[in-house]
């Protein structure tokens, strides 16, 4: 859960993201919450056995950030802000040290009646408690 907390905290701290979605950044749990525009973060997997060379205790986690909007263009705008906030982010956020690396190409999705549009972006996150 710490990887999700780190991701949400980095996004909430970014002015460009906040300008588009305010505080509507949450953990994806399958329950619809705020109306678009918003961001949902979910953990895809975590490998606690993964260790960075020369270090220990760095779980590698893959997270998906879903940029959700009522139009494809707004979903892409949110995605652009997310990438500006997370791409190659390395640093301390709260009580954690984190390093994000974008994974692959973002991919779009929509609901059947084309009223909700999503742009999903995957990241690998190496993290540990700071200190």
pTM: 0.85
Position 48 scores a pLDDT of: 60
What is the CA angle 39-45-46, rounded to 5?
115
Query: What pLDDT digit, counting tens, does each position of 41-99 carry?
Result: 998 887 765 555 545 567 788 999 999 999 999 999 999 999 999 998 999 998 888 99
Position 30 scores a pLDDT of: 62
Q: Where in the chain are the domains?
A: 2-129
Position 23 scores a pLDDT of: 86
- With a pLDDT cut of 70, the percent of the chain lying above it is 85
* Number of residues in the chain: 131
CATH code of domain 2-129: 3.30.2000.30
My answer on whether omega of the bond before 90 falls inside 30° of 0, hence cis, is no
Which of 125, 131, 130 is CA-nearest to residue 50?
125
């Amino acid at each position: 859960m710490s990887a999700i907390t780190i991701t949400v905290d980095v996004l909430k701290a970014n002015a460009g993201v906040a300008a588009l979605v305010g505080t509507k950044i949450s953990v994806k749990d399958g329950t619809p919450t705020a109306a678009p525009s918003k961001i949902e973060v979910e953990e895809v997997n975590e490998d606690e056995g993964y260790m960075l060379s020369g270090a220990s205790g760095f779980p590698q986690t893959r997270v998906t950030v879903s940029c959700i909007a009522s139009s494809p263009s707004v979903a892409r705008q949110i995605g652009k802000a997310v990438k500006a906030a997370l791409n190659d982010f390395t640093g301390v956020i709260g009580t954690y040290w984190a390093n994000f690396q974008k994974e692959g190409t973002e991919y779009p999705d929509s609901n059947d009646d084309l009223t909700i549009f999503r742009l999903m972006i995957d990241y690998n996150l190496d993290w540990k408690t700071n200190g």
